[in-house]
Structure formats: C-alpha cells, structure tokens
Structure 1
C-alpha cells in the first residue's frame, strides 16, 4: 500500500473521533526511519487515548501493521508507530511544550481535511 493511502487511512481515523489540529509532515528528506509524521490533538486524556486506539484499530483493519503504541497509560501523549507513518496524539499543553512541528518542518503536507470550524484550514493533495 502506498504512503498516500496509508496517510488517508490515518487521517480518516483521526477525523472519525474528532481529533483536532491535524498536521501531516513529510519526513523522507529528514530520516530514513519513516516517511510521515502525523500530529493531532485531543482535549482530554480519555479522548487522546480513544483517538490513538481508533487509529491503531483502523490501521489493523486496513492491513497496516501497528509496530508499537506508547503512552496509553497517561494519555497525555500517545505515539503509534505504523512503520512508514508515526502518529502523535497529544493534549494541547503537551503539544505546545514539545512543539514537534518545529522538528519536522514548518510546512505540513497538503492534505484535504474535513472542516472543523471557521479557523480550520483545508489543504488539498
């Protein structure tokens, strides 16, 4: 399965459970370990864990191997390793503190997201 299809599965799963502020970064030029980093926020420990669980479940259902899931105990920051894609589900305060967007690049990959309100920017492939 190509990276765009995998990326779409993850984004759809994130949108299914109302993840907020979804950003996708192309990391092929930065690391050989994975091709995409996807960062999303949840409003509580419970929602962050639910987001991560849903992403992992949907990935498995679609034939994407879930290599590891870390951080489910606290729910502040849950990482899902899907091989070519690494997904970070974070609470806003944790996300602001670590600011992963700065590490992976200032410009996210352009993907079409469902509108989440007037401030949500829609990107297209």
Structure 2
C-alpha cells in the first residue's frame, strides 16, 4: 500500500501486537488483509479498559513508532472521556483500540473474517 512503513510490515504489525499486549491491551489480534486487497494491509485490534488505558496505549504506540522511524498518518491528539474506539493509521497497518462494548458491537474480526490471523495474544481483556 503506502510507503510509510519498513519492508517487513507483517513483523512490525506483530511487534505492535506484542507491545499492546505487554501494556495490558486485551484480546490482541493482528489480521493480514493483503489477500482481501483492502486499503491497508494489516489490522491490529485490541481491547482497552478505560479512557486512561486508551490514552496510555496511544502514547506507547506513538513512542514505539518514533523509535522505529514510522510515520503516524492519523491519530487522535487527545482521547475524550468515554471514547470507545480509537484508530491509529500507520499506512499499511491500522491499529484499532476499542472498549469491550465497541468491540462486541462492531465485530471487526467477523467483518473481516477472510483475513489471516498472524498473531493472537494469549491474555484476556484487561
């Protein structure tokens, strides 16, 4: 897709998934969308427990991207209280941080069920 990421986007997407899991993101899933010919190549989906948790994960992801010279195409500057879904666009990878309620409602894994799962975290939400 775009040229904002390094060559091995799959490995970077999995690294992001592990980073999110290490910071207590729940039910982390990395989906490979390349075979579906979508507008992006990978989704990283995780559950957050609160607005504070969401803001903290955004900060960790931003720091990780800066350390790896990855440009963030779009993200929220500030997380409003009660925000249930945040999207961080890295070009070839899009990170979805969602509350349990939003994740159950939107069911991204079901919606994009044709995608391959390249990483599935082993920790439950929270």
Structure-2-length-normalised TM-score: 0.79
Q: Is the 8 A contact 2:33 2:116 kept in 1?
A: no
Name which structure has the greater RCO, CA cutoff 8 Å, separation 6+: 2
Q: Which runs of structure 2 are paired with 1:56-71 in the superposition (5 Å)?
A: 56-70=62-76
For residues 23-47 of structure 1, give each alpha carbon's deviation from its aligned partner in whole angstroms, at most 9, with x where no partner exists: 1111112234211011100111211
Match of 2:97 among 68, 89, 98: 89
Q: Cα 1:28–1:106, aligned 2, differ >3 Å: closer, same or farther?
A: closer
Q: What are structure 1's unaligned runs of at least 5 residues?
A: 118-125
Q: What are structure 2's unaligned runs of at least 5 residues?
A: 1-5
The residue number in structure 2 matching 1:72 is 79
User: What SS does the corresponding residue of 1:109 show, helix, strand or coil?
Assistant: strand
For residues 21-78 of structure 1, give each alpha carbon's deviation from its aligned partner in whole angstroms, at most 9, with x where no partner exists: 0011111122342110111001112112211221122112111111001483243111
Structure-1-length-normalised TM-score: 0.79
Q: Is the 8 A contact 2:44 2:96 kept in 1?
A: yes
Match of 1:116 among 116, 123, 126: 123
